[in-house]
Amino acid sequence: MKFYNINEKSDFDVICKSVGVSVAGINLMREKSSLSFVYIKDIKSPAANILKQDAISVGAELVTHKDTIFGLDTSSNALLIGTDAQLKKLSKKEKLQDFGLKNLAKFLEISFNKPENPKIMGVLNINNDSFNASSRIDIDNALLCINKMIDDGADYIDIGGVSSRPGSVYVGRDEEFRRIKDVILQINAHGLDKKVKFSLDSFDEYCLEFALNHGFKMINDISANENLALLAKKYDCELCMMHMQNDPATMQINPHYDDLLAEISDFFEHKVLKARDLGAKHIVIDVGIGFGKTAEQNLLLIKHLKHFLKFQCDLLVGASRKSLINHYFKSEVHERLSGSLYLHLKAFENGASIIRTHDVSEHKQMFALHSAYQKANLW
């Protein structure tokens, strides 16, 4: 016999096939191949004790406060640990329990499916004040820059007529439309909208409808106006809604979220439900990296991005060259490619399906190597 300590993130299916496991066996074993962590806040001691016993009975575990065992009528936090198979069994048990455990059962039934490959969204700005000067275009070089991104392998190209950097002031509909009109007409006239999906980074309905009338396929709305779902329904396009504090002109960092994940999750709970009620079929969520959040909060959102898969929506992350990187490693905007690549790789690993970046070619290369690495197996 020979023994190998192999990477625990190796392709489970490939390993099973090398062992000779049946297809049915692979499907069964896959649910046992990795652990999930479910953090539970404010659980009453009686509920925690019931849940702990139920968890142990299916082979899972509940990590509780040291005083929970005494059964006092107090609340604390807990960590539920189990495989997909164990949590599936546990959810059936908790459906029969009181103390709010029925709500946990519903949560455990959600599929937190991560994408197999990311889609890359290139960023181009038709203005003179976006924070990354290299992303700025005008009518003279627009087609050249767009075609370059298409050749580099972009899946989306996001066009913006106004800056949303912190402190920026909206220039108004007329000025925004003046900036974007000719570029949109050129994109449509040259059939570029047939080669790649275009999105308009705007919250103005007039500008958005003009773009959608000329082949654009996504509304990229930083204001998360759920009423734009009516426009998304009319054109059967994607609607991306982002979280931020206030608006770019009045945006302030909130260093004291009582519960970062809960507050942003509640925000999208309302927005997604309303947008779906209004007829939007293709909703994308953007947690808003850099928009009114501290550097640490931004990292926490990327690290725990999987939680937002609960909405069964594509997740978009755009950390490209943002000041978050400068906070941890002093650098100017043009020096932040490495940091951008790292953050976007982690975002993808944690559930992001669309990566918004100024550097399309570099990201396509990085994800090509990541995909090849994932597929590299000994057997």
Active site residues: 322, 356
Pairing of strands 75-83, 61-63: antiparallel
Q: Whole-angstrom Cα distance, residue 358 to residue 319?
A: 10
Cα–Cα distance between 230 and 91 in angstroms, integer?
36
Structure tokens at 147: 């075609």
* CB-side neighbour CA atoms (13 Å) of 70: 8
Q: Please, what sign has the CA dihedral across residues 170, 172, 173, 175?
A: negative
Which DSSP helix (H) or strand (E) runs through 219? strand 218-221
CA 276 from centre of chain:
18
Counted residue by residue, the chain has a size of 379
Which secondary structure element, helix H or strand E, spans residue 258, and what is its range?
none
Kindly state the tokens that stand for 174.
Answer: 């007329």
